[in-house]
Amino acid sequence: MVDILYLINDILSAISILIIVYAVIAAVIGFIRSEIKREHQASNGLLAIRLPLCSRLLLGVEILIAVNILRTIMSPGYNELIALVSIVAVRTLLSLFIGRESKVLATIAPVPITEKITEQKADIAGNNKSETLKDENEPQNSDATAPEIK
C-alpha cells in the first residue's frame, strides 16, 4: 500500500513539473511570436501571454502542494511536518499572488475569442428577434387570410 502511495506521489510530482515546464515553454514561444509580429505594441500581446502562464503555473504549484501533503502523510515526523508547513506557506503565498495577478490580467488583457463569441451571440439574438418580429407582423393561416368561398 505504501509503495502505491509513493508511486502516486512520484507521478503527481512529475505531472506538476511537466505542467510548469509546459507553461514556461508556451510562454516563451508566445513571447517570441509576439516579438516577431510586434503584437505586444498594438494589442497588449504580452498580457495575453501572461494570463495562461499564470493559470498554468498556479495549477502546477497547487499540485505540488498536494504532493507535499501526501508525502507528509506517508512519513509523518516533526522534521517532515516543519518542512511541509514552510513549503506550503511559501507555495500558498505564491499561489495567492499568481491568482491575484491572473485576475488582474483577465480584466486587462483582450480576449478576442470571448469577444467574438459575444458578438456572435448578439448577432444570433438580433436575427432571432427580427425573425420573430417578421413572424408577428405577417398574418398567420387563420380565417382572416383564408380565401373567401362564394
Q: Where are the domains of the chain?
A: 2-131
Band the pLDDT of 113: cuts 50, 70, 90.
very low
Torsion-angle region of 125 (φ positive above 0: left; ψ -120 to 50: alpha; else: beta): alpha
Rounded CA-CA distance 80/33 in Å is: 44
pLDDT at residue number 6 = 87
pTM of the model: 0.60
Rounded CA-CA distance 98/101 in Å is: 5
Asked if residue 110 has pLDDT above 60, the reply is: no
**Which range has highest mean pLDDT (10-14, 53-57, 106-110)?**
10-14
pLDDT at residue number 116 = 46
- Output 96 or 24, whichever has higher pLDDT: 24
Mean pLDDT of 62-87: 83
The number of angstroms, rounded, from the C-alpha of 12 to the middle of its chain's C-alpha atoms is 20
What's the one-letter identity of residue 24?
V
Asked if residue 33 has pLDDT above 50, the reply is: yes
Asked if residue 58 has pLDDT above 90, the reply is: no
In the chain, what percentage of residues exceed pLDDT 70?
A: 65
Q: What is the 3-state secondary structure (H, E, C) of 6-57?
A: HHHHHHHHHHHHHHHHHHHHHHHHHHHHHHHHCHHHHCCHHHHHHHHHHHHH
Asked if residue 25 has pLDDT above 50, the reply is: yes
Band the pLDDT of 122: cuts 50, 70, 90.
low
